[in-house]
Amino acid sequence: MNRLFVFALTLFLGLNVFGQGDPVIMTINDDAITKSEFLQIYLKNNNDPKYDKQSLDEYMELFKKFKLKVAEAEAMGYDTIPRLVKELNGYRKQLALPYLVDSAMNESMVKQAYERTQNEVRASHIMLKVSPNATPEDTLRIYNSLLAMKKRIENGEDFASVAKGKGGSEDPSAATNGGDLGYFTAFQMVYPFEEKAFTTEVGEVSEPFRTRFGFHILQVTDKREARGTIETAHIMVSVDRNANNEGLLAAKAKIDEIYALLENGENFEKLVEKYSDDPTSNKKNGLLPAFGSGTTTRMVPEFENAAFSLKNDGDYSKPLKTSYGYHIVKRISLKDVASYEEMKDGLKNKVTKDERSKATQNSFVAKLKKEYGFSDKSKKTIKWFYTNMDSTYFKGKFDPSLLKNDKALFILDGQSFTQKQFAQFLKSNYRSVRRDDNMKAIVNAQYKKWVKQAVLDYEESKLVDKYPAFKALVTEYHDGILLYEVMSDMVWNKAMKDTTGLKQFYEENKANYMWGKRIDADVYECYSKEFADQAYTMLQNDTIQPVHVVKKINGDSELNIRHRNGKFDLDRTNYLKNTNLNSGLNAAYEVDGKFYVIVVSKKLNPSQKEFGEAKGAITSDYQNYLEKNWLEELAKKHTVKINNEELYSIGK
């Protein structure tokens, strides 16, 4: 289970905004929650807030339970577990990024992003993987390999052939697409790739460049104006990647049949519901996420081209094949690229979370140095590193303990940043250094990196005090991580591991786990009354086998009838609810546009579910039982005080 998903669904999304004179509405042990804090939490988790006594009491009860769990997690030391501390620090680093950039430069990056959303680039690439800790020799070898491939292409070899050939691209998709990535716009590739594509002329091959995936060269094959943002729906017949020719032909026959039904006036949405194999969209009329300019969503090129070639809303395509199967695409809406003012806020949010924000950090660091009175003292104190470091540094053998003094290298906000701190940085950051005989140049380059990192880290340490919104986010992640861990240990995993307790709980609550009325039956699901009547007629011969019924009625089609056999719960199966079925063959009837012929072998009365048959429900109920008992213990262990006078004054 995803931790962030879990705690995003909790009733508390912490906001810590304390105002002077803000009354305390609740305390747990010695921790106070103010009225304004609680109100912001309440409003954030209620789209239609109510301020009557009952609504406030109900939410306060839920909020109290959450805070009790977090308080217990802290009492148990969960906030000191190294793994969780590391995880929270990682999230904190990510959350801090938007606060560690030059806002003026960010504005220019937002404008650049908008300009790029108005255009699309088509490019092919060749990628060679490289480890983040690759040696300079390995890095140079990969770089030179790409230079050699670039030269071959410039001398006339086909880009796709080089990409697919021996020693070519290590992007797995290159085997089928020759490195062609289709058209893309801003935010649809990692920023270094986007930057290189938009600044390379059509027909040119770029110099090798690095992203987090490896080293690349790319060739820009086309540039065009953006086609806008399109919303589509589709009907999909899936094809297994390892399907044989027979499987491909069956899928093609099925999509062609569906297309013929569309052409004969059948409703698109009904056909989606009946036949589409896409589980993410077949319950939503086939609707897919919007893609194109201003989105981060991309579709495979065949799908995009088919969608954008449709002239009007409501038009649908002929069947087309992608790597996922066969599709019929319907255009729902098409919007031109929105204005800068309309997109500005969304683009700004994307820029602050994108790699491009790092480009503004140098100017931001310069501003911070000025704000905090940066004073460089390294002219003399860095000399020790020039004379005491040698080639063993490249092997990670530099020993900071050799440094006997600890003089300041620079001063920031009145605090000294010293030689020993720099020595630790050197020890931890030797892998990214390229070998060079000029050790002085290496030390100076590393010193520059350390100063930048130290200044940014210092500013990050101040963010909680400077920005209430940042404090709120950090609190949210902190409490969410602790909640997930303590609930896993005390409730979720405990219930699954405690097989003895689980079985005892089942024995004590058997009456809660009963089968309802069921039938053991053969179900024939038909897509027209004509086929249902035909099935009914054939099944009057009680010796006929289901496979023969299906084969006869489907013929060359895949759309006429489907057969299922098993035990079916009458109250939990939609097409069996409120039916009065007899033993044996039952006449056809209609539910939600489909027709059903049921052959009942046996009627099954309500009966006790065995442990294995109800284990999922038992586990869930046992978890609730454990949580209830645990909360009762926590209420006795931790002191909770609620200021009802202030609580009931909310909304007045």
CA–CA gap between residue 532 and residue 131 (Å, rounded): 61
Reading phi first (left if > 0) and then psi (alpha if -120 to 50, else beta), residue 372 is in alpha
pLDDT in tens, 187-202: 989 999 999 999 999 9
Whole-number pLDDT of residue 361: 81
Compute the CA torsion angle 596, 600, 606, 611 (nearest 10 deg): -90
Residue 607 has pLDDT above 80, yes or no: yes
- DSSP string computed for 484-532: HHHHIIIIIHHHHH-HHHHHHHHHHTGGGSEE-SEEEEEEEEESSHHHH
Q: Helix (H, G, I), strand (E, B), or coil: what is residue 215?
A: strand
Domain 119-225 part of CATH 3.40.630.10: no
Order of strands across the sheet with 24-28?
A: 31-34, 24-28, 640-642
Q: Are 318 and 330 in contact (CB under 8 A)?
A: no
Q: Which residue has the higher pLDDT, 370 or 14?
A: 370
- Express each pLDDT in 1-45 by its tens digit: 444 333 333 333 333 333 446 899 999 998 888 888 788 788 888
| Cβ-based neighbour number of residue 67 at 10 Å | 22
Q: Please say whether the dihedral angle defined by the alpha carbons of residues 203, 207, 212 and 213, taken in this order, is positive or negative.
A: positive
**DSSP 3-state helix, strand, coil percentages of the chain (rounded to 5)?**
50, 20, 30
Residue 452, exposed/middle/buried by CB under 10 A (0-12, 13-18, 19+)? Answer: middle
Look at the chain and count its residues: 652
Q: What is the mean pLDDT of residues 612-626?
A: 94
- Reading the block at residue 607, the tokens are 């009966």
Q: Do domains 1-75+467-506+610-652 and 119-225 have the same CATH topology?
A: no
Angstrom distances, CA of residue 18 to CA of 63, 74, 223, 237, 471: 18, 22, 52, 56, 11
Q: What was the pLDDT predicted at 517?
A: 93
- The dihedral region occupied by 190, where left means phi > 0, alpha psi between -120 and 50, and beta the remainder, is beta
Sequence-ordered strand ranges (E) for 143-227: 180-184, 209-211, 214-225
Sign of the alpha-carbon torsion through 104, 110, 113, 115:
negative
Signed CA dihedral, 277, 279, 285, 288: sign only:
negative
CATH number of this structure's domain 229-336, picked from the four choices 3.30.950.10, 1.10.150.120, 3.30.2040.10, 3.10.50.40: 3.10.50.40
In this prediction, residue 21 carries a pLDDT of: 63
Assigned token pair, 349: 């949010």
pLDDT value of position 73: 96
What pLDDT is attached to residue 437? Answer: 64
The answer to whether 254 and 237 are in contact (CB under 8 A) is yes
Question: Taking the CB of residue 463, how many other CB atoms lie within 10 A of it?
Answer: 18
Residue that is written with structure tokens 């003399």 in the block = 380
The confidence score (pLDDT) of residue 4 equals 39
Phi, psi (degrees; rounded to nearest 5) at 567: -100, 130
Give the pLDDT of residue 3: 46
Question: Exposed (0-12), middle (13-18) or buried (19+): which is 652, by Cβ within 10 Å?
Answer: exposed
Angle at 484 between CA 481 and CA 349, to 5 degrees: 45
- Residues with Cβ < 8 Å from 359, sequence gap 6 or more? 105, 109
- Residues near 25 by Cβ (< 8 Å), separated by ≥ 6? 33, 34, 35, 37, 38, 642, 643, 646, 647
Which tens digits make up the pLDDT trace of 78-103? Answer: 999 999 999 999 999 888 887 887 87
- Between 466 and 556, residue with greater pLDDT: 466
642 DSSP β-pair partners: 26
Q: Which residues pair with 197 in a beta bridge?
A: none
pLDDT, position 514: 94
pLDDT at 133: 59
- CA 568 to CA 582: how far, in whole Å? 14
Mean pLDDT of the 147-171 span:
95
575, two tokens: 């097409």
Kindly state the average pLDDT of the residues 390-397. 88
Torsion angle defined by CA atoms of residues 382, 386, 387 and 390, in that order, rounded to the nearest 10 degrees: 140
Domain segments of the chain as ranges: 1-75+467-506+610-652, 119-225, 229-336, 372-463, 514-608
* For residue 358, pLDDT beyond 80: no
pLDDT tens-digit map of 571-586: 989 999 989 999 999 9
CATH number of 514-608: 3.10.50
Judged by average pLDDT, the poorest of 94-103, 416-425, 509-518, 600-609 is 94-103
506: tokens are 């089942």
Task: Write down the pLDDT at residue 101.
Answer: 79
DSSP E strand boundaries for 203-286: 209-211, 214-225, 229-238
The pLDDT, as a whole number, for residue 127 is: 97
Provide Rg for the chain, Cα atoms: 33
- Decide if pLDDT at 531 tops 60: yes
pTM score over 0.85: no
Q: Are 14 and 475 in contact (CB under 8 A)?
A: yes
CATH topology (fold) of 1-75+467-506+610-652: Triger factor/SurA peptide-binding fold (1.10.4030)
* Amino acid 10: pLDDT: 35
The string of pLDDT tens digits covering residues 435-450 is 766 888 889 989 999 9
Nearest CA to 588 out of 517, 518, 531 is that of: 531
**Residue 12: its pLDDT value, please?**
32
**In the chain, what is the greatest distance between 2 CA atoms, to the nearest angstrom?**
102
Calculate ∠ Cα 172-175-179, nearest 5°. 80
- Our measurement of the distance from residue 646's CA atom to the centroid of its chain's CA atoms, rounded to an integer in Å, reads 40
Burial of 72 (0-12, 13-18, 19+ CB in 10 A): buried
Distance CA 631, CA 443 (A): 57
Q: What is the mean pLDDT of residues 504-519?
A: 94
- Residue 439 Rama label (left phi>0; alpha psi -120 to 50; beta): alpha
Counting residues of the chain whose pLDDT is more than 70, the rounded percentage is 96
Better-predicted residue by pLDDT, 105 or 520: 520
Instruction: Convert 578-639 into a string of H (helix), E (strand) and C (coil).
Output: CCCCCCEECCCEEECCEEEEEEEEEEECCEECCCHHHHHHHHHHHHHHHHHHHHHHHHHHCC
Per residue in 44-75, pLDDT (tens digit) is 888 889 999 999 999 999 999 999 999 999 99
Q: How confident is the model at residue 295 (pLDDT cuts 50, 70, 90)?
A: confident
How many whole angstroms separate alpha carbon 478 and alpha carbon 498?
28
* Termini Cα distance of the chain: 41
pLDDT average, residue stretch 242-251: 87
What are the backbone angles phi and psi of residue 597, rounded to the nearest 5°? -120, 120
Separation of alpha carbons 124 and 45, rounded Å: 46
> What percentage of the chain reaches a pLDDT higher than 90?
69
- State the average pLDDT for the chain: 90
Q: 65: which 2 tokens? A: 């339970």
